[in-house]
Amino acid sequence: MEQARECLVRGGDPSPDAVRYRILTSWRRSRLWGVHADVLDPPYDEHLDGDSVLVRAARPVMDRLDAALAGTVMSILLTDGHGRVLERRVSDPSLLRHLDRIHLAPGFSYSEEDVGTNGIGSAIESREPFFVAGPEHFVHPLAGVSCAGAPIVHPLTGRLEGVLDLTCRAADATPLMTLLATEAASDVVEGILDQASTSERALLRAFLAANRPAGKAVVAVGGDLVMSSPAAAALLDRADHAVLSDRAAEMARRGRPHDEILLASGERARLHVQSVDGARGLVVELSLIRRPPTARPLGTELRPRLPSGLAGTSGAWTATWTRVEEGCRRGERLLVTGEAGTGKTTLLAAAHRCWRADRPLVVLDVADLGPGGAADGLCRLRPGPATVVLRHLGA
């Protein structure tokens, strides 16, 4: 086993007969993560949510399992969906000291990215129960323990909430560990469902009440759950949902039940937000704001919403163009961010052609302007009234 791992660390390809396929696949991921095979140094985060839905659902399950394993040299651990340890139960003092030495304790991360192959991180990556015997760990300091982790998947959203893990010394490992961890994780899922169902029933009742009479545009938002009436589904683009959720949450925090929002279609909608008793959620009612058409001189035409040659028809792209267009119309400064090559400069040049075609367009690359940066470049150029685009502003 050690020879196979050393072969992989040196960039070779171990024989598949030397190690289980799932372990070899995890080793390869660990190498891609850049995990050092001789160094165990997991990151630590002291900010733990001790009252999350996951923790509340897991505690009674861990209590029962701890009682059932009394007198054994077995530890029970709960992590979040990123592999950070949230809770730990261990009764054997010797095992407790060993777990502390390898930082398998609340606050430390046991993701594959941080510590390589292990029952917690590998269960997260595979989304399946995962058993790792001592020498199968990618990092040498973990070779003294064996662990079995089972993922905890939210029954309604499908999101990976965490891992229920059993860890013991390698000499004390048993094949039953994977079965016990899987059954315990299943019990935690039932606990999550019990908690979620009460809250979501309350949210559903409020959603149905707000949707009467039928035909209203109503959206209910609670955690990862979103319910939309047919009228709201027809009104909202996929890009609108995140904006709507954020705005509704902000309105609720400020105690402001009414506000307006710009949709991806370019239309404005009025929002009415109400909190739901017994549920961590909000119900939002939308209505379009119909504005009278603006009178304009005969013979003039409306400027095109999307100039010819500017690609993009999705709701998100339309919303982006609408925001740039509004900024140009108001004469505001704009900050446009995005990956290289996505067309930020092209977008601004198109907006300039629509709204500032009577002025020059000046494009300055800040990275090429030297120590003085954009200020010196503009002073030397002195363009007068112009549209100025500063590229690579991060420089």
Q: How far apart are CA 29 and CA 375, in angstroms?
A: 46
pLDDT at 269 over 70: yes
β-strands 75-80, 160-169 pairing: antiparallel
pLDDT of 315 reads 64
Between helix 176-210 and helix 53-68 the angle, nearest 10°, is 150
**pLDDT band for position 379 (50/70/90)?**
low
pLDDT at 120 over 60: yes
The separation between CA 134 and the C-alpha centre of its own chain, rounded to angstroms, equals: 32
Average pLDDT, integer, range 96-108: 97
pLDDT of 119 reads 97
Q: Are 185 and 155 in contact (CB under 8 A)?
A: no
- Per-residue pLDDT tens digits for 110-119: 999 999 999 9
pLDDT at 11 over 90: no
Q: How far apart are CA 79 and CA 125, in angstroms?
A: 14
pLDDT of 300 reads 41
- Cα angle: 122, vertex 125, 131; to 5 degrees: 25
* Residue 125 falls in which region: left (phi positive, over 0), alpha (psi -120 to 50) or beta: alpha
- Per-residue pLDDT tens digits for 166-217: 999 999 999 899 999 999 999 999 999 888 777 888 888 898 899 888 889 9
**pLDDT band for position 49 (50/70/90)?**
confident
pLDDT of 225 reads 79
Average pLDDT, the chain: 86
Q: Are 194 and 57 in contact (CB under 8 A)?
A: yes
Average pLDDT, integer, range 235-253: 86
- Per-residue pLDDT tens digits for 140-165: 999 999 999 999 998 877 789 999 99
**pLDDT band for position 130 (50/70/90)?**
very high
- 32-36, 263-267, 359-363, range with the lowest pLDDT: 263-267
pLDDT of 373 reads 62
Residue with tokens 């140094």: 41
264 three-state secondary structure:
coil
For residue 266, give both structure tokens: 């370019």
- 74-78, 163-167, 387-391, range with the lowest pLDDT: 387-391
For residue 147, give both structure tokens: 């662990």
- Per-residue pLDDT tens digits for 304-329: 455 656 666 666 777 787 778 777 77
pLDDT of 374 reads 62
For residue 357, give both structure tokens: 């075609």
pLDDT of 173 reads 95
pLDDT of 383 reads 63
Asked if residue 213 has a cis previous peptide bond (ω within 30° of 0), the answer is: yes
Alpha helices in the chain (DSSP H): 2-9, 21-33, 53-68, 93-101, 112-115, 119-126, 176-210, 230-235, 238-254, 315-330, 344-355, 373-381
Residue with tokens 């925090």: 253
Average pLDDT, integer, range 270-287: 89
pLDDT at 296 over 60: no
